[in-house]
């Protein structure tokens, strides 16, 4: 059977870029998304279906030799709060099922399959902390944060069961801060205000901000996001029971971002219309992350100066 990598949520920001990166290094990919692909690439086997379809997921593992899984299909934080039942089905139940399939596949075929799970700063809480380390206080207050934490723990548990026999699942996860792309404008997340604001400033449009000016959050650019995923997945062994890593490139407040954009784009205007659904979430997420562990394992480097970071994103 031919080896394939499975990517779920290939239409999303992370899924689409990871897919392209994997193709560029010669991998064969099966891509599962609830929608038709935004861009069809000839060599990719696309499946249009929901991640909640258990039968389908089982059949993928019967029909193909899945060598790695990148599981991006999810509802983001604000969408999850608006639809908690669906968030449970997609973010939690379906993720557990996929992890079980990978584990059972490994047992059946006497192999260990690497599984990438994008976790989030949403697992932190209930109070905002600075320079959060992976093992700092983790009591998420949101549905989304809880979904992510449960999957971090579930994946780590099955990893533990697998690793001594080297059969089953090799679970690897990154807790992402806000991700900023230069060519897509995401929605459905709490940190999405930043790419949305940058997009408005570039177009000379006014931006209505749902967070207060002093709200500070960590961010990473899409290039470092994708290279972190690939670097983490390419590590031969990760000598750590704790399977989750923090990454960030810069951390800045809403006002710091808007001041930066006003200097660059003098016609840019911002209006504040605080929304408690957004503010109450952002107030429980860390203002910055400690990335020492990522630095140790794959030499992840953080861009400390937020203006240098933003400059790079805007000029891309
Ligand atoms: N960027 C995500 C969100 O805001 C956090 O993981 O929902």
CATH number of domain containing 278? 3.90.25
Task: Judge if the beta carbon of residue 178 lies within 6 A of ligand 1.
Answer: yes
Going by alpha carbons, the residue nearest to atom 5 of ligand 1 is: 120
Quick check: is 294 in a domain? no
Which whole number is the average pLDDT over 256-273? Answer: 96
Quick check: is 292 in a domain? no
Q: Is the per-residue pLDDT at 44 higher than 90?
A: yes
Quick check: is 161 in a domain? yes
**Closest ligand 1 atom to the C-alpha of 78?**
7
Which residue is associated with the tokens 């690793």? 163
Say what the alpha-carbon torsion angle 295, 10, 220, 314 is, to the nearest 10 degrees: 140
Task: Judge if the beta carbon of residue 151 lies within 6 A of ligand 1.
Answer: no
Q: Is the per-residue pLDDT at 301 higher than 80?
A: yes
Q: What is the pLDDT of residue 316?
A: 79
How many domains does the chain fold into?
A: 2
Give buried/exposed letters for 234-262 (b at 16+ CB in 10 A, else e): eeeebeeeebbbbbbbbbbbbbbbbebbe
Q: What is the pLDDT of residue 7?
A: 98
Are both 92 and 226 inside the same structural domain? yes
Going by alpha carbons, the residue nearest to atom 3 of ligand 1 is: 189
Query: What are the CA-CA distances from residue 271 to residues 200, 204, 282, 306 (Å)?
Result: 12, 14, 18, 22
Q: Is the per-residue pLDDT at 140 higher than 80?
A: yes
Q: Best substitution site from 13, 76, 91, 123 to test ligand 1's pocket, by max atoms within 8 Å of Cβ?
A: 76
Q: What is the pLDDT of residue 183?
A: 83
Angle value at C-alpha 147, between 81 and 111, nearest 5 degrees: 150
Are both 109 and 60 inside the same structural domain? yes
Q: What is the pLDDT of residue 41?
A: 95
3-state secondary structure 150-209: HHHHHHHHHHHHHHCCCCEEEEEEEEECEEECCCCCCCCCCCCHHHHHHHHHHHCCEEEE
* CA 175 from centroid of its chain's CA atoms: 7
**Distance in Å, CA 172 to ligand 1 centroid:** 19
Are both 13 and 132 inside the same structural domain? yes
Quick: pLDDT tens for 188-222.
899 999 999 999 999 999 999 999 999 999 999 99
Q: Is the per-residue pLDDT at 137 higher than 90?
A: no
**Closest ligand 1 atom to the C-alpha of 191?**
4
Q: What is the pLDDT of residue 128?
A: 97
Q: What is the pLDDT of residue 13?
A: 92
Q: Is the per-residue pLDDT at 182 higher than 90?
A: no
Check residues 24 and 3 and name the one with the higher pLDDT.
24
Are both 93 and 145 inside the same structural domain? yes
Q: What is the pLDDT of residue 111?
A: 96
**Distance in Å, CA 266 to ligand 1 centroid:** 29
**Closest ligand 1 atom to the C-alpha of 144?**
7
Q: What is the DSSP letter of 236?
A: S
Q: What is the pLDDT of residue 147?
A: 97
Are both 233 and 258 inside the same structural domain? no
- The CATH code of the domain that includes 46 is 3.40.50.720
**Distance in Å, CA 76 to ligand 1 centroid:** 6
Are both 70 and 206 inside the same structural domain? no
Distance from C-alpha of 301 to C-alpha of 132, rounded to nearest angstrom: 16
Which whole number is the average pLDDT over 57-86? Answer: 95
Are both 45 and 164 inside the same structural domain? yes
SS3 284: coil
State the pLDDT confidence band at 80, using cuts at 50, 70 and 90: very high
* CA 183 from centroid of its chain's CA atoms: 17
Q: What is the pLDDT of residue 23?
A: 97
Q: Is the per-residue pLDDT at 1 higher than 80?
A: no
State the pLDDT confidence band at 60, using cuts at 50, 70 and 90: very high
**Distance in Å, CA 204 to ligand 1 centroid:** 25
Q: Is the per-residue pLDDT at 291 higher than 80?
A: yes
Are both 188 and 174 inside the same structural domain? no
Q: What is the pLDDT of residue 142?
A: 95
Quick check: is 21 in a domain? yes
Q: What is the pLDDT of residue 184?
A: 83
Angle value at C-alpha 26, between 20 and 27, nearest 5 degrees: 75
Are both 282 and 153 inside the same structural domain? no
Quick: pLDDT tens for 115-126.
999 999 999 999
Quick: pLDDT tens for 222-249.
999 999 999 999 999 898 888 999 999 9
Quick check: is 295 in a domain? no
Q: What is the pLDDT of residue 186?
A: 84
Quick check: is 143 in a domain? yes
Task: Judge if the beta carbon of residue 176 lies within 6 A of ligand 1.
Answer: yes
Are both 64 and 78 inside the same structural domain? yes
Q: What is the pLDDT of residue 315?
A: 87
Quick check: is 100 in a domain? yes
**Closest ligand 1 atom to the C-alpha of 118?**
6
Residues composing the chain:
316
Are both 19 and 52 inside the same structural domain? yes
Pairing label, strands 250-253, 216-221: antiparallel
Q: For the CA atoms of the chain, what is the radius of gyration?
A: 19
Quick check: is 297 in a domain? no
Which whole number is the average pLDDT over 25-32? Answer: 96
Output the average pLDDT for the chain.
95
Q: What is the pLDDT of residue 185?
A: 86
Going by alpha carbons, the residue nearest to atom 6 of ligand 1 is: 120
**Distance in Å, CA 6 to ligand 1 centroid:** 23
Are both 159 and 210 inside the same structural domain? no
Structural domain boundaries enclosing 186: 181-218+250-287+305-314
């Amino acid at each position: 059977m031919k080896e394939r990598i499975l990517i779920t949520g290939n239409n999303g920001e992370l899924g689409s870029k990871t897919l392209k990166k994997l193709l560029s290094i010669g991998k064969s990919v099966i891509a599962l998304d609830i929608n038709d692909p935004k861009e069809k690439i000839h060599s990719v086997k696309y499946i249009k279906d929901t991640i909640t379809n258990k039968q389908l997921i089982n059949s993928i593992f019967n029909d193909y030799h899945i060598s790695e899984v990148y599981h991006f299909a999810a509802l983001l934080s604000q969408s999850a709060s608006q639809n908690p039942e669906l968030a449970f089905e997609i973010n939690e139940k379906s993720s557990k099922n996929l992890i079980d399939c990978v584990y059972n596949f490994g047992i059946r075929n006497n192999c260990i399959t690497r599984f990438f799970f994008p976790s989030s700063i949403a697992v932190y809480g209930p109070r905002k902390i600075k320079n959060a380390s992976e093992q700092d206080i983790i009591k998420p207050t949101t549905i989304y944060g809880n979904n992510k934490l449960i999957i971090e723990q579930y994946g780590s548990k099955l990893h533990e069961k697998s690793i001594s026999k080297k059969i089953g699942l090799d679970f690897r996860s990154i807790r992402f801060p806000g991700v900023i792309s230069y060519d897509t404008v995401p929605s459905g997340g709490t940190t999405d205000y930043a790419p949305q604001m940058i997009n408005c400033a570039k177009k000379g449009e006014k931006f209505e901000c749902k967070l207060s000016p002093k709200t500070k959050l960590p961010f990473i650019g899409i290039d470092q996001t994708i290279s972190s995923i690939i670097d983490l997945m390419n590590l031969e062994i990760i000598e750590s029971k704790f399977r989750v890593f923090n990454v960030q490139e810069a951390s800045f407040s809403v006002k710091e971002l808007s001041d930066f954009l006003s200097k660059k784009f003098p016609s840019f205007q911002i209006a504040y219309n605080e929304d408690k659904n957004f503010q109450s979430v952002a107030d429980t997420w860390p203002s910055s992350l400690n990335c020492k562990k990522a630095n140790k394992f794959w030499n992840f480097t953080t861009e400390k100066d937020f203006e240098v970071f933003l400059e790079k994103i805007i000029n891309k």
